[in-house]
Amino acid sequence: MDSEPEPEHVVNISFLARIVALLKRSFGFWLREPEDRVQLLHILREANERDLIDTDALSITEGALAAGETRVAEVMVPRAQMDVIDIAAPLEKIIAAVISAAHSRFPVIDDADRDNVIGILLAKDLLRMQTESDFNLRDCLRPAVFIPEAKRLNVLLREFRASRNHMAIVVDEYGGVVGLVTIEDVLEQIVGDIEDEYDFDEAHDNIRRDSTGQYRVKAKTELDDFNAFFNTTITDQKFDTIGGLMLRKLGRVPNRNETLEIAGLRFTVLRSDSRRIYTLLVSPLATDDSSGQPATTRRVAEETPDDS
């Protein structure tokens, strides 16, 4: 005796169940939960390759995950490169320094001691000079926030959001100032470079001399433009920019404050993240013999040509 045919809805459910089972076998890697951060990143990169998420979303996610493992010391502006205001300086000199640096916030020190940070000056507060006859700079200072250099960026970002602070002074285990970090520094580690109206971005302004006599150079500066400015003959067969040259020389993306000596010049990384270099500090090396020629220049000249 023939069995009765299954109802149509039963057949459909059975068919769908087989499809789901097939998808689980085919894409089981995607359907299971990642066991660790490495596997999660692998899944995200696979999703990017399959056009399930775009490259920007992947980059931001990678930056956010990296922030949980990155210490403040790795992204801070080091002590020697901090633009600070001395409370004892004449107001005219302070205003000139603020205009020259073009920052919105400045650590304020006393007795020319960088370890003695007494507050933070917002550049906009100097406008009160125009309306207050008894203007007192000390009255304008905001409290300084001090953090340890081992603090993780994700923790610092939460603290910045909760306190509405945009700058923190970084100290070592003995309480000495070792640098500063801003909310922009933290966000750039996640979303990449953030330029505002005060950042130099025109092609003719890729190289700019700062108040110390050193040069701030954008990593995207063409080698031809760099050579013309510094009177050097640096060449590379694989890269056209000074940042690309550094990447090839080091074999990786350098961290902030790493240095490299090329053609009689010292290159220090001012701004970078896990993906690329943004800004370099370039200064000439001291000469070390009677010829007046830097040792690095002679060493580079003796190197074999770049690999093709």
Q: pLDDT digit string (tens) for 65-104?
A: 777 788 898 888 888 888 899 999 998 899 988 888 888 8
pLDDT value for 85? 92
Using alpha carbons only, what angle is made at residue 53 by residues 47 and 55, rounded to the nearest 5 degrees?
Answer: 100
* DSSP strand pairing (177-182 vs 77-78): antiparallel
Average pLDDT over all residues of the chain: 77
The CATH homologous superfamily for domain 73-191 is: CBS-domain (3.10.580.10)
Does residue 134 register a pLDDT over 70?
Answer: yes
Does residue 16 register a pLDDT over 70?
Answer: no
pLDDT tens column, 137-192: 888 899 999 999 999 998 998 999 898 889 999 999 888 999 999 998 888 877 76
Using alpha carbons only, what angle is made at residue 141 by residues 89 and 110, rounded to the nearest 5 degrees?
Answer: 40
What average pLDDT does the segment 294-306 reach?
A: 37
Least confident of 28-42, 188-202, 252-266, 291-305: 291-305
Same fold, 73-191 and 206-302: no
d(CA 87, CA 70): 33
Q: If we measure between CA atoms, which residue out of 22, 63, 19, 57 comes closest to residue 275?
A: 63
pLDDT value for 178? 92
Tokens, residue 57: 């979303």
pLDDT value for 78? 87
pLDDT value for 48? 74
d(CA 292, CA 286): 9
pTM of this prediction?
A: 0.56
Across 3-12, 38-47, 172-181, which has the greatest mean pLDDT? 172-181
Parse the chain into domains and list their residue ranges.
34-67, 73-191, 206-302
**Which CATH number is 206-302's, of 3.30.750.200, 3.30.465.10, 3.40.50.1100, 3.30.750.24?**
3.30.465.10
Task: Please report which confidence band the pLDDT of residue 297 belongs to, taking 50, 70 and 90 as the band edges.
Answer: very low
Tokens, residue 102: 């073009």
pLDDT value for 141? 93
Q: How many residues does the chain have?
A: 308
